[in-house]
Chain A
């Protein structure tokens, strides 16, 4: 089988990725065992694997996973709905865009997680503080990428729509939105990254629950294998989101 055929294969890239991951884990295991990496800082991957069962059975991982997933999903849905709507509004009203786009960009790069005491005062020690922190951190990239996607729509496609006498809403639904979709999804994925970081980070900071709190608990107990096992579950939440967004994008726009 030549390189082109391997690239086209569905199984091979997946197997190569998993193989590379397994090789990296084995390499870390070997480096720790021969003393290159300090085992008191990074636990053995084999110990982490053994810690999974303990974390699942003793630490209510399913409940915590569900809570983190719920917070991240709610915040994710909010950044999508609000971010795309605000992006559309700023695209339509040029003066508003000129007045606010820089501020939105500044907000995207601001360490909003430091505002958690303010959110605690507003929303109390509840899931809503975590959701809103995730929302504030994740919404700017969605707004910015929505504007970029809509303004980047090729003029000729808009002219095709006009030549067929499309109304404003038809032009948006049939041309602008599908044309901007790939860029909008880049924004949603970026936003979800920021959202998830903030959700887990604020869970960690306010000790409310979810995987963030578990990571904090395990780290304070100096249970390093357990901590890394819990982090693996956060990665699993992230994987769930990326699979979901990819599925939605393919459903909305099957080919690019």
Chain B
């Protein structure tokens, strides 16, 4: 297994090595899947380190293994090479220090907002009165006061995703791991929810790892952005985002923001083009075979 030190370093800041003291360290992850066409390397020697209180975004084109990386870090898939450590402790499987927010709608439709948010506290065995009080605080944090007794079916997609975020935060994870949490939302809601996430991250000093394919979202939210290559997913480069904090969606109109977006797009364009060509080629071959 090649160590992270042998990985190519590129870009303004260079890919951070596992040697850096991070609360979350991903070291040389390789994940391969068996497919009918043969073995497929989804993630290849990916290493990263997230500092306490930092907001790191991982960006890449569709098919670059972002979600695979999310599942590896979250402990939802195993049989991979490399290591994930949280506070120096190697983890294999879901870890209480990592809270996950999923891309798909993940609230429990049979529970009210407050019951959803109190779910991890219920699992932890906290008394009902105490957990509901605590849940109310997290509901307020995501700006859903007054909706405590509503069911998810009565809420909009953006509100449901805020419930999911509050539920994860209620478990008080050291690291918040989010997989394209705003992917199914419209652009305006996405920007406003981004504001909410920024505010929460700043208020709680919450270490956050965001997986996304949206450049503006990544630049709006992150301190650093790790750009991945198209299949197999490798670290292409790490970009430091030197935009002032506290930040809000107003930052999208700044000149610096535009420069970062252009810079990252120039990296991603090549990968996205490769992904599109690969997809077209596979579709063509599948058509010819049938």
Q: Are B104 and A164 in contact (CB under 8 A)?
A: no
B105 CB contacts on chain A under 8 angstroms: 156
- Min distance, Cβ A248 to any Cβ of chain B, angstroms: 14
- Tell whether A206 is near chain B: CB-to-CB under 8 Å: no
Query: Within the assembled complex, what's the spacing in Å between the Cα atoms of A178 and B106?
Result: 14
- Min distance, Cβ B197 to any Cβ of chain A, angstroms: 18
Residues in A79-126 with C-beta less than 8 Å from chain B: none
Q: Are A178 and B108 in contact (CB under 8 A)?
A: yes
Query: Within the assembled complex, what's the spacing in Å between the Cα atoms of A181 and B122?
Result: 21
A256-B109 contact, Cβ under 8 Å, with A162-B76, A164-B123? yes
Residues in A193-207 with C-beta less than 8 Å from chain B: none
Chain B proximity mask over A223-255: 1 for CB below 8 Å, otherwise 0: 000000000000000000000000000000111
Q: Are B74 and A163 in contact (CB under 8 A)?
A: yes
A2 CB contacts on chain B under 8 angstroms: none
A256-B108 contact, Cβ under 8 Å, with A159-B102, A164-B120? no
Chain B proximity mask over A139-176: 1 for CB below 8 Å, otherwise 0: 00000000000000010110110111110001000110
Q: Are B94 and A165 in contact (CB under 8 A)?
A: yes
- Min distance, Cβ B252 to any Cβ of chain A, angstroms: 29
Query: Within the assembled complex, what's the spacing in Å between the Cα atoms of A156 and B153?
Result: 17
Chain B residue total in the interface (Cβ 8 A): 23
- Tell whether B265 is near chain A: CB-to-CB under 8 Å: no
Query: Within the assembled complex, what's the spacing in Å between the Cα atoms of A175 and B98?
Result: 20
Could you say which of A165, A170, A174 has the most chain B C-beta atoms within 10 Å of its C-beta? A165
- Min distance, Cβ A222 to any Cβ of chain B, angstroms: 53
A170-B123 contact, Cβ under 8 Å, with A175-B108, A181-B110? yes
- Min distance, Cβ B148 to any Cβ of chain A, angstroms: 14
Q: Are B110 and A156 in contact (CB under 8 A)?
A: no
Q: Are A163 and B94 in contact (CB under 8 A)?
A: yes
A156 CB contacts on chain B under 8 angstroms: 102, 104-106
Chain A proximity mask over B64-80: 1 for CB below 8 Å, otherwise 0: 00000000001110000
A160-B106 contact, Cβ under 8 Å, with A166-B123, A170-B123, A256-B153? yes
A162: nearest chain-B partner, CB-CB: B94
- Min distance, Cβ A232 to any Cβ of chain B, angstroms: 36
- Min distance, Cβ B175 to any Cβ of chain A, angstroms: 12
- Tell whether B194 is near chain A: CB-to-CB under 8 Å: no
A181 CB contacts on chain B under 8 angstroms: 110
- Min distance, Cβ B116 to any Cβ of chain A, angstroms: 10
A253 CB contacts on chain B under 8 angstroms: 110
Q: Are A159 and B100 in contact (CB under 8 A)?
A: yes
A166: nearest chain-B partner, CB-CB: B123
Q: Are A255 and B153 in contact (CB under 8 A)?
A: yes
- Tell whether B96 is near chain A: CB-to-CB under 8 Å: yes
Query: Within the assembled complex, what's the spacing in Å between the Cα atoms of A154 and B152?
Result: 15
A157-B123 contact, Cβ under 8 Å, with A163-B100, A165-B96? no
A181: nearest chain-B partner, CB-CB: B110
Query: Within the assembled complex, what's the spacing in Å between the Cα atoms of A175 and B107?
Result: 11
Query: Within the assembled complex, what's the spacing in Å between the Cα atoms of A178 and B110?
Result: 7
Q: A170-B123, A256-B110 are in contact. List 12 more A-B contacts (CB 8 A).
A: A157-B106, A159-B100, A159-B106, A160-B100, A160-B108, A163-B98, A164-B94, A164-B119, A164-B120, A179-B110, A181-B110, A256-B153
The 4 closest A-B pairs by CB, nearest first: A163-B100, A156-B104, A255-B151, A253-B110
- A residues sitting closer than 8 Å to B (CB atoms) are 154, 156-157, 159-160, 162-166, 170, 174-175, 178-179, 181, 253-256
